[in-house]
Amino acid sequence: MTEATAPRITANLEGKVAIVTGAGRGIGRCIARTLASCGAAIACVDVNVAAAEETVSLIQAEGGRAAAFACDVTDSEQVNSVVDAVIRQYQKLDILVNNAGITRDGLLLRMKDEQWDSVLNVNLRGTFLFTRAAARYLIKAGGARIVNIASISGLMGNPGQANYSASKAGVIGFTRTVARELASRQVTVNAVAPGFIATEMAHALGEDALKQIRERTPLGRLGEPQDVADAVLFLASPAAGFITGTVLRVDGGLAE
Ligand code: NDP
């Protein structure tokens, strides 16, 4: 697993304030560092606050601005109070990246209620709760951005992931609807659908499965967190101001 951190596109996010959920590791950490390297102040949100604090230290060492916030994205009260705390600290909010997500894989016939509920709660309810709490501040920002991290599993399905695919398909439907609701306030709302990305989540699949994935992926490799972070940076940037309600696949051609 590599931790590339330098964005390969440029954008000016000076003066912007961003929330990134699940910023303690993996793709979320890379998104936080990437947006920070372009000048945004980052609220690094994670259920594991020590991990979020590590991300903040990395950003600060790279000359960026960031603060850590402990929050379980499934808990409405925690979400509301974190968004309020971010506003108290930074006085505004321009960008929300709903990245926190989990898998609890299993075939349908053996899937436990808990596997279904926990994945739907973190991936879909968490995205809803943060978006609802942030929306009233985003509409005041002028040209604000919401980027939701979905998955190609939500587009094409994946055996063993009925819960995860349903949650990510839900995120895509949610994205398209909120894009329409917030368009008149110049808030754009888009989703990024990664394929298999080299993080702890993907490595949990095991080496045999990863070998098959590499073979099935037209570009012949897993993605890196930076591949996703660069797509998020583009959608969060001023350059993407006329793009809303889209799903951008970052999957090496896998879902085509
Ligand atoms: P990781 O498991 O590496 O990181 C997820 C982060 O989210 C962790 O820091 C985790 O904290 C945090 N988190 C989990 N549950 C909660 C919660 N309830 N509240 C707040 N934070 C929480 O995942 P990835 O970086 O791989 O994935 C990031 C996103 O990208 C997810 O939405 C995932 O579904 C999506 N994605 C990933 C793909 C991949 O191949 N890696 C492919 C397609 C989509 P903790 O460390 O405590 O668990």
Distance CA 73, CA 101 (A): 9
Q: Supply the pLDDT for residue 3.
A: 60
Structure confidence at residue 4 as a pLDDT band (50, 70, 90): low
- Ligand 1 atom at minimum distance from 98 CA: 32
Contact in structure between 126 and 168 (CB atoms under 8 Å): no
For the whole model, what pTM was predicted? 0.98
Tell whether the model's pLDDT for residue 195 goes beyond 60. Answer: yes
Active site residue 90: no
Q: What is the pLDDT of residues 219-254, one digit of tens each?
A: 999 999 999 999 999 999 999 999 999 999 999 999
Q: Which of 90, 116, 130, 164 is catalytic?
A: 164
pLDDT of residue 203: 86
Residue 135 has pLDDT above 50, yes or no: yes
Q: What is the pLDDT of residues 28-85, one digit of tens each?
A: 999 999 999 999 999 999 999 999 999 999 999 999 999 999 999 999 999 999 999 9
CB-CB contact of 28 with 201 (8 Å): no
- CB within 6 Å of ligand 1 — which residues? 21-22, 24-28, 46-48, 51, 71-74, 99-102, 122, 149, 151, 194, 196-197, 199-202
* pLDDT level of residue 201 (50, 70, 90 thresholds): confident
| Atom from ligand 1 closest to the CA of residue 121 | 18
Which residue CA neighbors atom 32 of ligand 1 most closely?
101
Choose among 78, 175, 164: nearest CA to 120.
164
- Asked if the model's pLDDT at residue 119 lies above 90, the reply is yes
The model's pLDDT over 207-220, given as tens digits with 9 standing for 90+, comes to 999 999 999 999 99
What mean pLDDT comes out for the span 11-25? 98
Strands (E), the chain: 17-21, 41-46, 65-70, 95-98, 145-149, 188-194, 247-250
